[in-house]
A and B are shown apart, each in its own frame.
Chain A
């Protein structure tokens, strides 16, 4: 068990590449969903302490982010356990309550030591957040959430993600805690890249 945790921790805060300017360039660049806007993707895992500690600054950044920035949360799937938590995210997304439960999911897993891996555990969590149990179960087992999960399994490889948290700016740049030297600096680097991309348009 300990070994497993150690392995996950490795994933969670990896990235050995030295990066100039605090970011790495994606090769090839990945397409963005809306070319009119600057796309920022955050790869995360609810079980990752670093993602959790980044969360307050992300939340603050979200409030002040420029209007032309499209922000996408993307749970990373590196193992079955990560998959379970990713599925919780996609269920919340399909139910339209991500903003309501996102912070609580982090809190439950990180602080309250809840596992939230089984459907029944998650059902309790969602019911406590005002979702009808049958609605939760229907959505959790829906084909749409399944399709998102299948897509998520390939996402990390597409963006060359080896650990979380990681931010992808406009399908071109990857910002990690390692590349940015510190977690606090991730947001600064991201802002610089957004500015750079906006001017390029």
Chain B
């Protein structure tokens, strides 16, 4: 490169314009990094921004701004630019700091704004001590120079102000380098060189391949791990792009206990973990309780209390078959975050909550606890899945108690709830007995025949006609169970002329109602209730609610309903483990920055000159001064010096 090009490049890198442009760019990046929540799982962003903008933002790396290539590049350029600045200005400033400017020319000094002339009646030698005493009084240091006309005294103070420039610039370089070390620059480089690959599958830690594993020597990282109570781990996960990396730790973290307190609103109030660090190098395990903002430090690793979650709670479930009455209900045990086989489908329980606090709709109390719930997906063999949210206990709605289970086929949708009425013992048993009777062709056929025979008109009719009516009832009931009133209506619309539809629908509804009632009565009879007695208000209301629940059952779209019967809640503590040697640069860097700014503001450089000229009538004195900053303070000081001199010498206008 020719000499001039280097100089142009140097001037460009060291220019104030570039530095300001870079700082503005960093400010904008920080704004983006604050507005867009960083380092979330990619599917969350797809939901939030839609697939199009997700792709755009992803390509701009807006989901991890601070580790993006462009941000690190800007940071790198800032380091370079500031370094060039320091390199170029350091010699000048060092010279300036040591230079008293005693070689300044008289005629140029006379042009300065701050000046005052005096006349001393004494000789130069006799005048000098007074002048020097005044300078010392104001803490100026000085040098003297003899010239043709007489003597020049050059004085200055506050050279630290110039050093402030150096301090603040070096501080920016140090902080940025610290940031680059603790950013995942080495990770980026390793990935670019093909040394590591992101793991995107959710698999147990011991199955993660070596290429997605980082050794315990990794000098700088920020990793997370959830450890269930009583369990231990010697690794953590680094969230990276659309997957994660496994970070090995040179020690084992054991979680002895996890404690959490809640507000009445259900919000967590405080949580803490009792940790035990086991290291082969340690004779005795390190034990410490950590909580939010009170981390544990060990060997340059810092372990923070970060979050909490489910540590694989064990749930006792009862699986009620919904499509066929042939199977009876089954007991099964499943664990949160593990897969279980249910009726040919894969049960994936994502979460268990021991309580659900909601604002009280009746307004009597502020909050009510709706009890435990669990959330799960039922994945069909073709890979598609519906998601469910089911409460363990009935929830009061309009004075009645219902078992609630929400269903959604897309994660972005809200849950649609299925309301199953709770029986007098607050159980699901009666509704399920009713529903399963409707699903059982044999029981249904028997009851249909009975219903067909019981009507007044039917008593005289032939057995063949009764059979036909019963068969019709059966078909109607099957349509109802499979698709609710909607299916029956749709059928009528296909087979019946428009002007007769209303009438036919009415007849169908009556017939169906009668059949359903008889099915319900037989369920009550099985429970041991006397069929001859009139229904209680509760039992009558239950029937209405149960029919409505059957009407909507097909929307629930699953062959099995899972009732939560019992649970063993196991909590997990969420730890963040960091190793950030860069902080040993960043913290001193910050101190240096404060020191630099302090110097620049409070130690401004000031210069004074006293030009002495020996004459016949004594000595002529000219006081001149200049300051780069804080003109107001300098004005005051200069005025004071002027007055002190005026007391000793006569002022000359």
Contact = CB atoms under 8 A, between A and B. Distances in A.
B393 A150 contact: yes
Contact of B262 (A29, A142, A150): A142
A150 B372 contact: yes
A155 interface: yes
Nearest to B328: A28
A146 interface: yes
A150 B392 contact: yes
Nearest to A72: B568
Contacts of A157: 427
Interface in A24-54: 28-31, 33
Contacts of B569: 144, 147
Interface in B361-404: 369, 371-372, 392-393
A86 B266 CA distance: 23
Taking chain B's interface residues, is the majority helix, strand, or loop, or is none over half, making it mixed?
A: strand
A36 B367 CA distance: 41
B333 interface: yes
B261 A147 contact: no
A151 B262 contact: no
A33 B331 contact: no
B71 interface: no
Taking chain A's interface residues, is the majority helix, strand, or loop, or is none over half, making it mixed?
A: helix
A142 B427 CA distance: 25
Contact of A143 (B314, B354, B392, B427): B354
A7 interface: no
B568 A33 contact: yes
Interface in B329-353: 331-333
A158 B565 CA distance: 8
A141 B392 CA distance: 20
Interface in A116-144: 138, 142-144
Interface residues of B, number: 22
B356 to A, nearest CB: 9
Given A151-B566, A154-B565, A158-B566, A31 B261 contact: no
A147 B355 contact: yes
B567 interface: yes
B341 to A, nearest CB: 15
Nearest to B571: A144
B316 interface: yes
A150 B564 CA distance: 12
Nearest to B269: A138
Interface in B282-296: none
A146 B333 CA distance: 22
Nearest to A31: B333
A100 B625 CA distance: 85
A25 to B, nearest CB: 15
Interface string A8-34: 000000000000000000001111010
27 contacts: A29-B331, A30-B316, A30-B331, A31-B331, A31-B332, A33-B314, A33-B568, A138-B261, A142-B261, A142-B262, A143-B266, A143-B354, A143-B357, A143-B369, A146-B355, A147-B371, A147-B567, A150-B371, A150-B392, A151-B392, A151-B566, A154-B565, A154-B566, A155-B566, A157-B427, A158-B316, A158-B565
6 interchain residue pairs of minimum CB distance: A147-B354, A31-B333, A143-B355, A150-B371, A28-B331, A143-B262
